[in-house]
């Protein structure tokens, strides 16, 4: 919870995070499928109940956080949540309903299936899935994309290909196509200060970063921090 407290203390009003589900269907804040890389325990969350995570520490210090606790800590905080697997979708929907929080949460995912699941069972803000991003990119080149059910586009600045090659995603044409549909464009994950400046110059609507102090400084310098 310390990372969230730090961001809120700095003044952030919207934070992006990921959720996984325990065996007993408790949604927890975590990116990886396994605890191996970031905690002092091993194995996937999906084989443990919530009570069995009591002594798990992230980087040896911080306990694993339940989504319910995050939603309750700051009732006005907006969140972008990525459900990292199919088994967390229903527990996530249930948690949002318990907290009456769907209106302040945008669901983002690489899985078109999960996005469709939310659009059907828990309507509200969702981002473009990968196929929708491709269609929006094509529309920026003059190929009509047809109906898109997304409310925003959350994309990387560039899309890696192979052999170290990549192609730009966020450019003036892409921004025009998204904005013509009323879609904000939020870019991830941008930790370089010069890149933050470049993207803001282009006209992006939001930036996701791991360097929250740096991003705040950039926004303040540009008179954007409120």
CA atoms of 222 and 201, how far apart (whole Å): 10
Which of 85, 111, 126 terminates a domain? The answer is 126
Verify that 147 and 225 share a domain, yes or no: yes
Verify that 153 and 85 share a domain, yes or no: no
Q: Which residue has the tokens 């995050």?
A: 70
Tokens matching residue 25: 């269907």
Verify that 122 and 132 share a domain, yes or no: no
Expressed in angstroms, the distance from the first to the final Cα of the chain is 24
What pLDDT is recorded for position 141?
96
Instruction: Please count the other Cβ atoms lying within 10 Å of the Cβ belonging to residue 139.
Output: 20
Verify that 207 and 219 share a domain, yes or no: yes
With beta carbons less than 8 A apart as the criterion, state whether 126 and 93 touch: no
Verify that 18 and 109 share a domain, yes or no: yes
Verify that 85 and 187 share a domain, yes or no: no
Verify that 116 and 26 share a domain, yes or no: yes
Predicted structure pTM score: 0.94
For 23, the 3-state DSSP assignment is: coil
Which of 84, 104, 126 terminates a domain? The answer is 126
Instruction: Please count the other Cβ atoms lying within 10 Å of the Cβ belonging to residue 162.
Output: 6
Tokens matching residue 125: 């803000």
For 101, the 3-state DSSP assignment is: coil
**Structural domains of the chain, count:** 2
For 99, the 3-state DSSP assignment is: coil
What pLDDT is recorded for position 119?
97
Element (H, E) at 167: strand 166-168
Verify that 132 and 36 share a domain, yes or no: no
Verify that 115 and 40 share a domain, yes or no: yes
CATH number of residue 94's parent domain: 3.20.20.190
With beta carbons less than 8 A apart as the criterion, state whether 4 and 19 touch: no
What pLDDT is recorded for position 166?
85
What is the DSSP code string of 165-218?
Answer: -EEE--SHHHHHHHHHTT--EEE-----HHHHHHHHHHT-SEE--S-HHHHHHH
Verify that 50 and 102 share a domain, yes or no: yes
Verify that 72 and 121 share a domain, yes or no: yes
Which of 126, 149, 166 terminates a domain? The answer is 126
Verify that 97 and 133 share a domain, yes or no: no
Q: What domain range is 218 assigned to? A: 127-226
Per run of 10 residues, the mean pLDDT along the chain (length 226 residues) is 96 98 98 95 95 94 97 98 98 98 97 97 96 96 96 95 85 98 98 98 98 98 94
Q: 38-51 as b/e, with b when 16 or more CB fall inside 10 Å?
A: bbebeeebeebebe
């Amino acid at each position: 919870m310390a990372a969230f407290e730090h961001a809120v203390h700095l003044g952030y009003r919207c934070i992006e995070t990921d959720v996984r589900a325990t065996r007993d269907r408790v949604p927890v804040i975590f990116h990886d499928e396994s605890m191996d890389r970031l905690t002092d325990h091993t194995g996937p969350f999906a084989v443990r109940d919530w009570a069995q995570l009591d002594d798990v520490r992230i980087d040896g210090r911080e306990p694993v956080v339940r989504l319910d606790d995050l939603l309750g800590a700051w009732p006005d905080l907006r969140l972008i949540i990525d459900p990292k697997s199919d088994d967390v979708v229903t527990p996530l929907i249930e948690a949002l309903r318990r907290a009456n929080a769907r209106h302040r949460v945008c669901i983002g995912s690489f899985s078109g299936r999960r996005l469709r699941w939310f659009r059907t069972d828990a309507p509200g803000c969702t981002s473009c899935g990968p196929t929708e991003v491709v269609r929006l990119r094509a529309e920026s080149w003059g190929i009509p994309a047809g109906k898109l059910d997304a409310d925003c586009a959350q994309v990387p600045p560039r899309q890696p290909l192979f052999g170290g090659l990549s192609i730009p995603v966020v450019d003036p044409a892409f921004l025009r196509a998204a904005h013509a549909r009323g879609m904000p464009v939020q870019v991830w994950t941008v930790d370089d200060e010069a890149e933050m400046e470049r993207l803001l110059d282009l006209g992006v609507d939001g930036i996701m970063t791991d360097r929250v102090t740096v991003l705040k400084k950039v926004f303040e310098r540009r008179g954007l921090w409120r």
